[in-house]
Every structure is written in C-alpha cells, then in structure tokens.
A and B are shown apart, each in its own frame.
Chain A
Amino acid sequence: AQKITQTQPGMFVQEKEAVTLDCTYDTSDQSYGLFWYKQPSSGEMIFLIYQGSYDEQNATEGRYSLNFQKARKSANLVISASQLGDSAMYFCAMRGRGGADGLTFGKGTHLIIQP
C-alpha cells in the first residue's frame, strides 16, 4: 500500500518569503510518480508539479520546485517569493502500480500568506 504523510496541517508565511511544504511517502513500487496540487477556497484542484521516481534532477515549474530525496522518501514543495494568491490547501500525491489505479493523497497543508 502507498502512503503520503504531510506533517504540517497549517502554515503562516510572510509575503515574498520562500515556503517549504513537507511531504514524505511510502511505497514498495520501484517506479512511481509524485505530484503536488493546489486547492484554493474555490475548490478546484490545480496541478503544480510532477517528479518521476527515476528523474535525476529535481523538477521545477516557475516559482515551484520539488526537493526530491529518494533515499529519504521525501518530496518537499518549495515555493519561492510567495504571493498572497498562494494561500490555499496544498496536497502531495503519488501514483504507482504501473498506472493501474488513482492517486494517493496526503491530508494537505493549509498555507496562508500574510501581507
């Protein structure tokens, strides 16, 4: 079975600071993918970034980067220069099993950016 752990239920961060959202995972699959999604108060799930288990470099997408440490089974999301619009729930998720099923999600981190 796969498991995602997000240990920060909530975070308050000052605008323009960098933010690190923690995510650890557990799986017996050799090949898997890790995802981060953002869910604003409107409820839509917005894809942010993807890291494949065999990727040698950390993924980056604009202000988002993923700090992937495979040996530690860690996939932290880093948001540089946070903005007020970054306030939302953030979910770490993974998928393995050769694509035979859906995403396993963590419980999420509620990020609030303060002016």
Chain B
Amino acid sequence: GAGVSQSPSNKVTEKGKDVELRCDPISGHTALYWYRQSLGQGLEFLIYFQGNSAPDKSGLPSDRFSAERTGGSVSTLTIQRTQQEDSAVYLCASSLKPLTIAGRQETQYFGPGTRLLVL
C-alpha cells in the first residue's frame, strides 16, 4: 500500500518568507508526527497529533512554527518568517495508533521528508 507522502520534496525560500509543508499519512493511521533533522541538532521531535488534536506543542522550536491536521488525515507544518536556522529536513511519520491495546508502542513509518533551504 501507499506509504507516507510529503510535499514538496525540496523547498528553497528567502529569509522572512512563510512556508507550508504537507504530510499525507498512511491511510487509517490515526497518529501523526513531525520531526526535524539537521546537522547540528540531529533528529528532533516537533509535534504529535492524535486524530486532529495535538496534546503538546512544546516541541515546536518557536512561535513561528505551527501545525494543524484536518479530517484526521493530512497535516501541514507552517513556518512563518523563515530564518536560516530553519534549514533542515522535515520528516513526517504516522502510526496506526500511539499504542497497541496491549500497551506496546506502535511502529512509526516515515515519509521521504521535505528538504528546506532558507537563503
């Protein structure tokens, strides 16, 4: 079946512009996650959605970052007034649920990422 898809694959933007990154999870997956991967910081967790709600937004790096998910499916990560330090690969992942009935962690499956370069 289809995996997690992300668009665009690559995005080059000028400092100060807004960007919108899109994630389409695996069909039927209720949990969705955003991560950022950069050379300096490694892989960082940004935000998690269960259905359309995000219980904890404290992982977002600044108030310029926001995310939403509608219809329990597609999610968008928006970065306003981009800065050069926002340059990174933004990865989206989804899982069937956060936890199984037995309390085991559900596996997260990742998309190919969006490579963002802020000039």
Contacts and interface: CB of A to CB of B under 8 A. Distances in A.
Interface of A: 31-33, 35, 37, 43-47, 50, 52, 91, 93, 95, 98-108
Contacts, number: 65
A106 B42 CA distance: 8
A55 B99 CA distance: 15
Interface residues of B, number: 28
B26 to A, nearest CB: 12
Contact of A47 (B46, B99, B104, B109): B109
B43 to A, nearest CB: 4
Interface of B: 31, 33, 35, 42-43, 45-48, 55-56, 59, 89, 91, 93, 98-99, 103-110, 112-113, 115
Given A99-B98, A100-B56, A102-B45, A50 B110 contact: no
A50 B105 CA distance: 9
18 contacts: A31-B103, A33-B104, A35-B105, A35-B107, A35-B108, A43-B113, A45-B91, A47-B109, A91-B43, A95-B105, A98-B99, A99-B106, A101-B48, A102-B33, A102-B35, A102-B59, A105-B42, A107-B42
B66 to A, nearest CB: 17
B99 A44 contact: no
Nearest to A43: B113
